[in-house]
Amino acid sequence: MWGTTVTVDVRAGEDALPAERVVQHALDVAVANMGWVDAVFSTYRPDSLVTALRTGLLDERRLTRGDPAQGALLDVLLRCREGRQLTGGCFDPWAVRGGFDPSGYVKAWAAERLADDLVRAGCANVCIDAGGDVVTRGVAAPGEPWAVGIRHPDDPGALSWTVLPGDGAVSTSGTYERPAHIVDPRTGRPAAGARSATVVGPDARLAGILATALVVAGRDGAHWFTGLDEWSAWVVDPAPADTAWTIGRDRHRTG
């Protein structure tokens, strides 16, 4: 789903776990909504709205909020433009081959929708992991907050940073597994600002934007990141330095 593996973790928290039928219904609704997101935003499906937009079959100016799918696409277009402006063009889903590709944004956005769908359905304590985009709600266990471990690019078996996002999000982007996966929209070349960037904050949608943009910008991104309240980041410089550094409020970090 969404070009990655999506993991859903539902816990009991302070109260007993909801009845099995409640959990199953919540998961059924969540899976249906995941499929809807894929049908609207996938760049691989010839019948998706995003594909129609990319190929010119759909004119953005004719999109209407009266249609739920088109309204969602309008929201994503708006947030992507805001992200491009905030990051000085380091996040720009229009500056890619083939036209507008919101995949880097939609995955985090959809993970947050999924978490909130589960909460509304009666599962108050959930953790969604969508291929590097993590969204948490509630607690992992009575008196125990959700803790998200961040691996170092050079050692996948070790944790370099552990964060407590609360009712928030953690997004990680990097070039250490697929060097050409993230492109610098300003040059069209593979991003070289950082090997890895992990962002923690209250909004999964913005977290995904910021993590991608920091991989592009590296240390130059500190000037726009530090102006954001309630956000922190852990960044690893490109080789040969491989220096790890943090920016923003470090209140999420535990180790």
Q: What pLDDT is recorded for position 126?
A: 94
On whether the 6-248 domain is CATH 3.10.520.10, my answer is yes
**Best mean pLDDT range from 94-98, 114-118, 215-219:** 215-219
Alpha helices in 45-89 (DSSP H): 49-55, 68-86
pLDDT (average), residues 3-27: 81
Looking at the predicted structure, is the pLDDT value of residue 253 above 70?
no
Q: Does the structure show a pLDDT above 70 at 254? A: no
Residue 139 phi/psi, 5-degree rounding, is -135, 160
What residue spans define the domains of the chain?
A: 6-248
pLDDT the model gives residue 248: 79
Element (DSSP H or E) covering residue 184: none
**How confident is the model over 98-111, as pLDDT tens digits?**
899 998 899 999 99
Highest mean pLDDT: which of 20-34, 136-150, 168-182? 136-150
Q: What confidence score (pLDDT) does residue 255 get?
A: 53
Among residues of the chain, what percentage have pLDDT more than 70?
94
Q: What is the pLDDT of residues 130-173, one digit of tens each?
A: 988 999 999 999 989 999 998 878 777 778 889 999 999 999 99
pLDDT band at 64 (very low <50, low <70, confident <90, very high): very high
